[in-house]
Structure 1
Amino acid sequence: MSLVIAEISYTNILPMFYYVDREKLKHAGCEFVPAIPSQLNQDMADGKVHVGGISSFAYGEHSEEYQVLPDLSVSAMKQVGSIFLFSKKPIEELGGASIALTSSSATSVNLLKIILSKFYQLNVTYTTMAPNYSVMMNDHDACLLIGDDAILTSFSKQDAIYQYDLGCLWKLFTGFPMTFALFAIRKEAWEKHGELLAEVHRQFLKSKLLSRNNRFSEMITSIRVQLGGTTDFWQTYFAGLNYELTETHLEGLHHFYDLAYELNLLTQKVNKVSIWNPTENFHSV
């Protein structure tokens, strides 16, 4: 059985994949498959994928089943730069509004529900839709987009539309960084592919380090060909992201999970985040 690694196409997770030696890993028994976050979450749950950068919320739904690779995440200390609520009116005036949610997300969708309910005390109605800004805003007061969809929309939105960064809102109200994705592992991966998994982890860490050390310059060149934007924009964007998994990140995650449980977004309380350790199998924090 090969070790199936899901690869999200979004730019925010690209630093962990950009310098990975794919040929070496494929030769060793890895298979890379493309995915969007919502599909990856389901594929992990179904056992079609063994390792992937899943939504933090999806980890919360499977916290007793999955472990996470250490020192890896997609987080924001403040602004995330690619998860936006676009609104026809100020966020404080969204009481009773209808909001279109992207079908591509789990963490961001539930983060928005927490922000509007717990922090702004707003009652709104939600509709989940394919991520198309024009269609979403046609019949709704606001919409949530993530990843490259959000970035491209921010480039071209009308000046009259309000734009809110969910990472900034989370930081404002909690003081914590927001961890949007974790690199999760299914049980069969750590039991049957421990040595290969260790090499995959080393490759992810190497790619993260190389990307950061060259200020994401090579990666940005290829991104601009696909998505446009200036070098300064992309360097600022990546400078706002964080790819660590420290105790502070974990504190913020636990707070997110607690609030999600209070709002019945999670059916079970998340008591621990299990970190994979190649020598000790795992430990919990």
Structure 2
Amino acid sequence: MALRVGRIPFLVCAPFFHDVLGRESRLTDVEFVDGPPSAHCRGLKDGSIHLSPASSITFAQKPGAFVLASDICTSCSFEVRSVKLFAKCAIEDLNGCTVRLTGQSMTSVNLLKVLLKERFGVTPVYVTGAYEPSDDACLLIGDQALEENERHRFAFGYDLGALWQDWQHVPFVFGAWIISKRALEDDLRQSLIRYMQATRESIEKFRENPSRALDHWLARYPVDLPRDVIENYYPALDYRFTDERKHSLSLFFEHAAGLGLIKEAPALEFLQI
């Protein structure tokens, strides 16, 4: 059986995957499945994929089913820039207003609900689907958020990573490498270990020459953004799963559980090699 890896075709995940683009067929024990974080959340829970840098809340939605890579995540240095609430009015004035939620990431949706309820004390009307001009605000993630940053269509834009860090004084963890315990069994374990090491090497190659890595990435997954905007996006990102970030993830789970967004805040469990 091949190790099935959920690949997210967003700029934020380019460091994880750029190094294997175009040579996937050489990885005879790995199969890639492209999709947004929400699709990989479902795939992890239903067993159709074995691992992915998925929405971090996925880990809490099926307690006991997963482990986390202990050293890799998707986080930020204050502003993430690709997870934003765009609004026609100030965030404090959104009580009773219509907020359109992205369907691409449940972590971002639940983080927004935590922030609005617990930090700002507002309860908007949440709706899903495509943004409509009558909406008071919308939550966008990934490349869509980066593109909206350049359009300047909204009076207010709020970076959720910055809102969380300003409130809790720790950087937020938007994505984690979530690994099904099925991948720990004998027939997949060695493939998993090799693949995670290749991912670490891919991140290092990206750090060494981001421009070359982006040439490779954008040839497969183009975006409607100026090149300088793309390259200036990465200094804000941090892929190290530090103790501080692990604490932040546990803290997020506690807040989400307190609002009934998840059943309980699970203890973090990590891949042991």
Place the TM-score, normalised by the shorter chain, in its bin. over 0.9
SS for the counterpart of 1:277 is coil
Q: Specify which of 263, 268, 273 is matched with residue 267 of structure 1.
A: 263
Cα 1:63–1:209 shift into 2, 3 Å:
farther
Cα 1:260–1:68 shift into 2, 3 Å:
same
Match of 1:143 in 2: 138
Cα offset, 1:27, TM superposition: 4.0
**2:159 is the alignment partner of 1:169:** no
Q: Is the 8 A contact 2:254 2:264 kept in 1?
A: no
Supply the distance in 1 between the matched residues of 2:199 and 2:182 (Cα, whole angstroms). Answer: 20
Q: Is the 8 A contact 1:2 1:31 kept in 2?
A: yes
Match of 2:249 in 1: 253
Supply the distance in 2 between the matched residues of 1:57 and 1:161 (Cα, whole angstroms). Answer: 30
Aligned length: 270
Match of 1:74 in 2: 74
Segments of 5+ residues of structure 1 without an aligned counterpart are: 131-135, 279-285
- Among the aligned pairs, what percent are the same residue? 29
Q: RMSD of the alignment, in Å?
A: 1.8
Report 1:22-33 matches (<5 A): 23=23, 26-33=26-33
AA partner of residue 82 (structure 1): S
Segments of 5+ residues of structure 2 without an aligned counterpart are: none
AA partner of residue 187 (structure 1): K
Cα offset, 1:229, TM superposition: 3.2
Q: Is the 8 A contact 1:137 1:143 kept in 2?
A: no
SS for the counterpart of 1:276 is coil
Supply the distance in 2 between the matched residues of 1:171 and 1:107 (Cα, whole angstroms). Answer: 15
Q: Is the 8 A contact 2:114 2:259 kept in 1?
A: yes
Supply the distance in 2 between the matched residues of 1:56 and 1:237 (Cα, whole angstroms). Answer: 21
Cα offset, 1:14, TM superposition: 1.2
Cα offset, 1:117, TM superposition: 0.3
Supply the distance in 1 between the matched residues of 2:227 and 2:190 (Cα, whole angstroms). Answer: 38
Q: Is the 8 A contact 2:38 2:104 kept in 1?
A: yes
TM-score, normalised with respect to structure 1: 0.89
AA partner of residue 52 (structure 1): S
AA partner of residue 90 (structure 2): P
Q: Is the 8 A contact 1:68 1:274 kept in 2?
A: yes
SS for the counterpart of 1:18 is helix
SS for the counterpart of 2:270 is strand
SS for the counterpart of 2:271 is strand
Post-superposition Cα deviations, 1:187-246, rounded to whole Å, max 9, x if no partner, equal: 1211131111111011100000110122x1123345667224344322321000111111
**2:178 is the alignment partner of 1:178:** no
